[in-house]
Structure 1
Amino acid sequence: MKLTESSLANPAAVAVVVALAALFGLLALLDLPVQLFPDIDRPQASVTTLWRAASPQEMEAEIVEPIETVLEGIPGLEQMEANVNTGFSAINLTFSVGTDMDASLVEILARLNRLQPLPRDATPPQVALGSDDANQSLTYFFVQKLPGTPGDINDYRRLIEDRVVPRITSVEGVAGVDINGAGGEELSIEVDLDLAAAYGIPLPQVAEVAARATDVSGGSFDAGRRQVILRFAGRYEPEALGELILAWRDGRPVRLGDIATVSVKRPEQVFFAYQNGNPAIGLRIRRESGANVLATLGEVKRVVAEVRGQELAPRGLDIVQSFDASLFINRAIGLLSGSLFAGVALAVGCLWWFLRDARATLLIATAIPISLLATFIVLQLTGRSLNVISLAGLAFAVGMVMDAAVVVAENIVRLREAGLGAAKAAIEGTRQVAGALLASTLTTVAVFVPVIFMRDVEGQLFSDLALTISIAVGISLLVALTVLPAAAGRLLRPGAAAADPGYSWLAAWTLRATDGRRRQWAWVLGGVLVPVLASALLLPRVDYLPPVKRAAVDVWFNFPPGMGPAAVDREIAPRLLERMRPFMEGERGPQLSNWYLNLWPNGGTLGARVVDESRIGELEKIIRDEVVAGLPDTRAFVAEGNLFGGFGGSSRAIAIHLQHGDGEALNAAAEQGRRLLAEKFPGANVQAWPNADGAAEELRVLPDDRRLAEAGWRRPELGTVVRVLGEGAWLGEHFDGERRLPIVLRAGPAAGL
C-alpha cells in the first residue's frame, strides 16, 4: 500500500504527525466545554405576553386568539399550544425536525408586526427560541434575609437588581439571570372611597384626569435664525402628583391628595420564596449555549462570594446556592474517567497476557492515546462538548481501537518469523490484512453513523456517543496502517512471544470438539440459538432513559381552590417551615444541606437535599408521611428528582390531552379523569394542568344599560370602577430618568366589596 510505504520511507514525518496530533489533542481536551449532557436543540419557539390583572377569559379573547390567528400557517409548524393564566399567556410553537429556526424566527416576528394593537397596558409579545428545559439552567441561588434583619425581603429587591444581577450576568458563559418573587415598584394612587363620595368625585373622573397628567411634544418652531423645540411638561413628579386638581367644590379646588394617597410601592405580593427557613428571593442563572459549565460555575461562585461579602453581608443578607450542577458533572466525569483509565489498563493487560511481548504490547497500545487525542480534536472542530455521553463513547472505544493494530502486528511478526526482512514484512503484512481491516472498520462505523444524522432529541442526545466511537475506530485504522508499520521494524522481534502450554491444550480441545460435520453444526446452532434464547429470557425492562436520581426530594403542591397566595403564605407556609426546621438544624435526621419553598397562585414547590445522600430515600418517606401530610385541602406529590427529566419524557410519564369547546365541561372531565386515574394507580403522581378544581370563585358584575344611561355613565366607565376596586386600573407609565413605573389607580385598604 502506498500509504504504508510512505510511512516506512518517512518515519520522522510519521513521528512529527503523531506528536502534533497528541499536542493539539491535549489542547483540545483542555478547551472543550464540560457539561453534564449534550446540548439538545428542539425546534420550538414561544410567544409570551403579560397583561396585568386580566382574567384568563380576557387574555384568551384579547391576546391569545389574535396572536394565534396571525401565526397560523407558518411553514414547518406542527403544533401550537397556548397556556393562559391570570395576566399571563404563553403560546408554544413546535416545528418539524430540520426546520430552519432562524428563518422561522423572522417569519414569527414579521407576522406579529401584522397584529392589531393590543390593550394599552399589555406588554408587547416576547418571542424566544428553544424550550425552557433544565439543561439550560446553570444553577440556582437564593438571596436570604437572615434573622434579625429589619424590613421585608422584597425591600432589598432593588439592591439585588442593581448590585447582584449585573455582577453575575457579566460572567462569561452566563446568558442571563431570572429573578423570582415580587414584581417591580409602581406609582400607586390609593383612593379613599368615602372621601371621593363626599366630594362627589367619581372614580372614572379620577382615572381620566390622572391619566392626562403627561408630557406632550409640540414639535419645533423657528424663532428668527434659531429652531426651538416645543414641549409641554405636564407630568407630575410622584411627590407632587397629589397637587393635581380634580374638580372645584364651593370655589375651592379638590386635589388628588385630598382623596387619595400617592406613593411609590410594590404591588401586592403573589410569589413567596423561602430557603433554609428564611424569606428569600430566588435567582435562576441561565447558561449560554456552548459555555463551559464547570468553568462558568466556578467563576459564578467566585463572583457570588464577592457579592456576599461586599454587598449582602453588611445588610444582614446572605446568598446560598440551591442546585449545583458541578457536583453531578464532577462525579459523572470522575466515574467515567476512572472507567476509561481502568479500561485502558485492562485492555493493555489482556494484550500483554496473550502476546507476552512488552515491545509489541507497547506498540499496539499506542493506538489508544493517539486515537483518543485525535478524537478530541474532531470533537472541538465539530463544536461538541465533553459530557457523560461523549465520555461513555470514549470508554466503549478503548478496546475497539486496538483491534486493527493487533491484527497488523501479529501478521508482521508472522512474516518476520517466515524469514522476511523488517521493511518487507511490514509492507506485506499490512497489505495482506488491509482490505479485511477496512471492511471491519466500515461495518463498525456503519452501525453508529446513522445516529449522528438523526435530528430529533434521541439523535442529538446520543450523537456524541456515535461520533466518538466512529472517529476513534476510524483513526485507529489509520494508525494501524501507518504508525505501526513504521515502528514495527525497530520494535517487533520474531519469536519474542513465549509458548504457553495452555494455548496448545485449548487448540487441541477445540479441534477434538469440532471434529465431524455433526459436531460443527451443533456448535453453530448452539452459538446462535443459546444467545437468542438467553436474550429473550433476560431482556431487561424497556425504558426511554434510565432513572438517574440527583439526591434531592421534590414536592409539587396544589393548594385549596381559590385560596389566595397571601393566605397560603399565612396559613400553610408556617406549618411547612416548622416541620422542616428540625431537619435543617440537625435536631432530627437526616440532616439537610439546604432546602427551599416556592409559592405562587394555586401552586408551589418544595425541594430538599441531604448531607448524607444514602439517606435520600428516608427523607422522601418523611416528607411524604410527615411534612406534607395533613395540610387542609392540599394535594402534594413527592418524588426524588431525576437528572434525565428534561429530555423528552419517560415511560414513567404519560400525557393525556383533553379538548372541548365548553371550558366548564372540560374542567369537570379533567377532574373526574384525575380522580379515576389516582384510584386506578395508587401512589401515582396524577396532576391536571391547569388545576381543574383550582379556579377561584367569580363575582360577576352585569351592567344595566338603562340605569347606566340614567346616571350618565357608560360601560367602559363601569369597567374602570371594577378594575379600581380589584387589582387596580393601569393609567400609564411614569419615567423618573432611570426606570419606568406603571401608574396604578386602586381603592384604598379600607375599601371592600
Structure 2
Amino acid sequence: AIVVSGNIIRLKEGGMTPVEAAQTGTREVVPALIASTVTTIAVFLPVLFLRDVEGQIFADLALTISIAVALSIVVAITVLPAAAGGWLKAKKLKSGYGDGWPALTDRILRWTDSRPKQLGWIMALLVMPLLACWIFLPKLDYLPPVKRAAIDAFFSFPPGMSPEVVNREIGDKLIERLQPYMKGEKQPALKNYYIWLWPGGGTIGARVVDESRIGELETIMRDEITQGFPDTRAFATEGELFGGVGGSARSVAIHLQSDDTKALNRVAEEGRLLLEKKFPGANVQANPNTDQNSLELRAIPDDRRIAEAGWDRAAVGTIVRTLGDGAWLGEYFDGQNRLPIILRADRRETAEALAEAPLVTPDGRVVPLGDVISLETAMGPGQIRRLDHRRTVTLTMDPPQTLSLEDALATLQKEVLPVLEAKLPAGANIRMAGSADRLQTITATMAKNFGLALLVLFMLMAAMFRSLRDSLVVVLTVPVSLVGGIIGLRTLGLIAFQPLDLLTMIGFIMMVGIIVNHSILLVDRTRIAQNQGFSLEESIGQAMNQRLRAILASTLTGALGALPMAVNPGPGSVIYRGLAAVIVGGVVVSMIFSLLLLPSLMRLMSGWRGEPSAGAASTHADAVPRAA
C-alpha cells in the first residue's frame, strides 16, 4: 500500500490527473509488488515442514503472515487506486523535494562511482556483516519461558508414607491453608486451585483473580503454603506454558545408569546438590527420588523344599502373587469389553500371617508358605526406573530464567558431567537428553530451513527478473539485514535478558521476506529504465529517486510497528520480544546500508559484463525529466 500510494502521489506531483496517476502509478509497481509478495510468502514455506511444538507455533505464525501479505496486495492494487482516483483533488500537488530525493541520490552515486569504491563497499557490507554475525551472535536457547499466570508447587515426601497419611497430614493442611485465599479473606484472592498427591510426591497449582499479583502468590506458596511439613521437600514456581508437570520446555535431563543401586543413588544425590550449587535458583529434581527407600517384604525361595513339594520357582512366584496383589490368569470377553481375570487370596495383614498361609501341594499335602520361602523385611527403592533396559536415575534441571540454554549446557559439559562420571562405578553410563537434544536438532533444522528459504528466494527472483545476476544482487543484501537483526538483539540485551531462542530465529526468516522487498523495488525500476534506453547510472538514479520515499516509509512503519513490542511488551506478547528486536534492527540497518550496497553491486557486475556506462551522477540530473 505504501509503494502504490507513494507512486500515485509522485505522478500526481508530476502533473497527472488523479485518475491517470492512479492507473499509471499502480501499473508501474504491480510486477515488483507481486514479486515481493511471492518472495515474502515463499520464505515461510520451509517453516511449514517443522514438527512438534516448534512446528505448531511457527506454522501458525507463517500462515497468518502469508495470508495478511496476500490480502494486502489485493487491497493495494484494487481498493487503493480506486480510492485515490476518486478522492484526490484535481489540483496539482507540489513536492518540497522535487521528484524524489535527488540530493541523496547524487551523493550515493558519487560514493559508488569508481571500481575501488564499489569493491570497498561490497567487502565492507558483505564480509564484515558475516564476521560480525559470527562474533556477536547471542547465545542459543530453545523456547522462551512463557508463563501461564499460575503457580505450581512440587513435593517430595519422606519414604513409607501411605496414601491415608499423605491425605491426612499433607492434603488436609494444604486445603486448610488455601481456603482463606480462596474465600477472599486473605489477599491475593485465588480464582481456583488443584491438589494432586500420591505416595512419594505430589503437586498443587493455583491461579489468582488479579494476574498482576502472581508474584505475591509465588512468594506465599513458597514461604507459607508448602512449608512446615516434616522431611518434605517443596519447590514453587510460576507455571510454564511450554512443558509438562515438573518441568519446562527448557529442562535438561541427565540420565545416570548403573547396576550398583547404592552407588547410583549416592552419585545422583551428589549430582542434585552440585546442580543446585552451580545453578542457583534452578529447579532440580531426581526421578526417582534418591531418598525414597521404603520398607519392603522380600521372599527368598528355598529350592530344596520347593522341589520336595513338587513345585518350581515360577509356581511359587504365582502363589506369592496370589497371596498379595493377585495373579493375572487371563481375560474374559463379554462381547463388548475385555475383563481381566485375577486370582487373589484373602488379605493377610502381617508377615507372620502370610508365612502361615496354608498351601496344598500337588501330592495332596498341606504346608505353610513359610516352609518353601523365607520372608524378610528390608529397605528398598519405592520406584525402579529403567531406560534402555538399565536401571536409571534421571536428574532434571530447569535453568534460571536469566541463563541461556547454551550457557547452561556448556556449564554442564565442563563442570558437572566430568565430576559425576568420575564418581560413577565401572560400567556406568551418563548422558544428557531433554532440551539438550532438542536444541541441537532444531538449530540444525532451522539452519537448513534458512538456507532453503534463501535458495527459494534466489530461484524465484531468477524466474521473475529472468536474470541470475539480478537475483544474486537481491540475495546478497541479506547479510546486511542479519547483522542488523543481531544489533537489535544485542541492544535489547542491554535492558533485558534476551537469548537467541527459536521464536527469535523465525524473526530472521521474516526479516528476509521484508528487506528483499526494498531490493526488488530498486532492481525492478532500474531494469525498466534501462529497457527504456537509459544508461545504468541514469537508471539507478531514477530508481532511487522514485522509490526512496516508499522504502523509507515502509522501513519506518515496520520498525515503529515492532518497536513497542520490543521495548515494552505485554504479558501475552513477551515471547515475541526478541523477534520484534530482530525486525527493528534488521529493517533499519538493511535500509541504510543497502542503498550503498545495491548500486555498488549493480555497477560492478555491469562492468564485468561490459555494459556501457554513462559515467556518473552528473547525467542523473538530466535523467529525471526524461523519466517523467
Q: Give TM-score, length-normalised by structure 1.
A: 0.44
Q: 1:339 aligns with which of 449, 453, 458?
A: 449
Structure 2 CA distance for aligned equivalents of residues 362 and 170 of structure 1: 52
Aligned equivalent of 1:408, options 522, 525, 531: 522
1:497 & 1:342 partners in 2: Cα distance?
32
Deviation at 1:407, TM superposition (A): 1.3
What pairs with 1:631-710 in structure 2 (closer than 5 Å)? Answer: none
- Residue 279 in 1 paired to residue 391 in 2? yes
- Residue 371 of structure 1: how far off its partner (Å): 1.0
Higher strand share: 1
Q: Which of 42, 51, 59 does residue 148 from structure 2 map onto?
A: 42
1:158 maps to what in 2? 266
Q: In the TM superposition, what is the alpha-carbon distance from 1:401 to its structure 2 partner?
A: 2.6
Structure 2 letter corresponding to 1:38: P
Q: Within the alignment, does 1:59 sit opposite 2:147 as a pair? A: no
SS of residue in 2 equivalent to 1:300: helix
SS in 2 for 1:142: strand
Is 1:121 matched with 2:230?
A: yes
**CA RMSD of the aligned region, Å?**
4.9
Structure 2 residue matching 1:81: 3-state secondary structure: strand
Whether contact under 8 Å (2:488, 2:584) holds in the other structure is no
**Equivalent pair of 1:47/1:90 in contact (CA under 8 Å):** yes
Structure with the largest fraction of helix: 2
Does the aligned pair in 1 maintain the 2:421–2:430 contact within 8 Å? no
Change in 2 beyond 3 A, CA 1:332/1:119: closer
Q: 2:423 aligns with which of 311, 316, 330?
A: 311
The alpha carbon displacement at 1:40 in A equals 2.1
Residue 274 of structure 1 deviates from its aligned partner by 2.7
Residue of 474, 477, 483 corresponding to 1:367 = 477
Q: CA deviation at 1:438?
A: 4.6
Match of 2:194 in 1: 81
Give the whole-Å Cα distance in 2 for the aligned partners of 1:288 and 1:51: 25
Local SS of the residue matching 1:45: strand
Q: Secondary structure at the match of 2:147?
A: coil
- In the aligned structure 2, how far is the partner of 1:104 from the partner of 1:176? 18
Cα gap change, 1:121/1:414 in structure 2, threshold over 3 Å: closer, same or farther? closer
Encode CA deviations 1:139-184: one digit per residue, 9 max, x unaligned.
2313322xxx5xxx1465334433x445556667994642233554
Change beyond 3 A, Cα 1:468–1:460: same
Query: 1:142–1:281: 8 Å Cα contact kept in structure 2?
Result: yes
Cα drift, residue 33 of structure 1? 2.6
Task: Give matches, 1:466-505, under 5 Å.
Answer: 468=582, 472-473=586-587, 475-485=589-599
Unaligned runs of 5+ in 2: 1-100, 241-245, 296-376, 613-628
The letter for the 2-side match of 1:34 is: L
User: Aligned equivalents of 1:339 and 1:134: distance in 2?
Assistant: 26
Other-structure match for 1:141: 255
Q: Does the 8 Å contact 1:390/1:465 carry over to 2?
A: yes
Q: Greater CA deviation, 331-340 or 100-109?
A: 100-109
SS of alignment partner, residue 55 of structure 1: helix
Q: Distance in 1 between matches of 2:378 and 2:263?
A: 9
Amino acid at match of 1:407: L
1:426 Cα deviation from its structure 2 partner: 4.2
Cα distance in 1 for residues equivalent to 2:227 and 2:269: 29
Letter in 1 for 2:180: T
Q: Are the equivalent residues in 1 in contact too, given 2:141–2:404 (CA < 8 A)?
A: yes
Q: Give CA deviations for 1:49-106 in whole Å, capped at 9, x if unaligned.
A: 6775433133243343124425855458544333344576644233579736556545
AA paired with 2:266? R
Q: What is the CA distance between 1:451 and its match in structure 2?
A: 8.1
Structure 1 residues 344 and 322: alpha-carbon distance in aligned structure 2, compared to 1, 3 A threshold: closer
Gap change, CA 1:68 and 1:413, over 3 Å in 2: same
Q: Which amino acid aligns with 1:343?
A: A
> Which residue is equivalent to 2:305?
none
1:94 corresponds to 2:207: yes
- The reply to whether residue 33 of structure 1 matches residue 134 of structure 2 is no
Please give the alpha-carbon distance, in whole angstroms, between the structure 2 residues aligned to 1:437 and 1:97. 44
**Alignment partners' CA distance in 1, 2:609 and 2:389:** 75
- Rounded Cα–Cα distance in structure 2 between residues aligned with 1:58 and 1:385: 43
Q: In 2, Cα distance between the equivalents of 1:423 and 1:108?
A: 70
CA contact (8 A) 1:357 1:497 kept: no
1:270 equivalent in alignment to 2:382: yes
Give CA deviations for 1:219-269 in whole Å, capped at 9, x if unaligned.
xxxxxxxxxxxxxxxxxxxxxxxxxxxxxxxxxxxxxxxxxxxxxx99664
Letter in 1 for 2:394: G
Residue 389 of structure 2 is aligned to residue 288 of structure 1: no
Q: Is the 8 A contact 1:405 1:479 kept in 2?
A: no
Q: Offset at 1:402? A: 1.8
SS of 2:288 mapped into structure 1:
coil
Q: Which amino acid aligns with 2:288?
A: G
- CA distance in 2 between counterparts of 1:178 and 1:351 reads 53
Change (3 A) 1:26 1:88: closer
Change (3 A) 1:174 1:376: farther
Q: 1:393–1:59: structure 2 CA closer, same or farther, 3 Å change rule? A: same
Q: Does the 8 Å contact 1:389/1:462 carry over to 2? A: yes
Distance 1:303 1:161, change over 3 A: same
Same amino acid, percent of matched pairs: 14
Does structure 2 conserve the Cα–Cα contact (< 8 Å) formed by 1:178 and 1:283? yes
Amino acid at match of 1:285: M
- State yes or no: 1:431 paired with 2:545: yes
Amino acid in the other structure paired with 2:484? A
Distance in 2 between residues matched to 1:339 and 1:182, nearest whole Å:
41
* Greater RCO (CA < 8 Å, at least 6 residues apart): 2
Displacement of 1:384 in angstroms is 3.8
CA–CA distance in 1 between the matches of 2:529 and 2:189? 61
Does the residue aligned with 1:80 lie in a helix, a strand or coil? strand
Mark the CA change 1:98 to 1:4 in structure 2 (over 3 Å): closer, same or farther: farther
The structural deviation recorded for 1:135 is 0.9
Runs of 5+ unmatched residues, structure 1: 189-264, 499-753
Contact 1:79–1:95, Cα closer than 8 Å, also in 2: yes
1:404 alignment partner AA? H
Q: Deviations over 1:588-625 (max 9, x none)?
A: xxxxxxxxxxxxxxxxxxxxxxxxxxxxxxxxxxxxxx
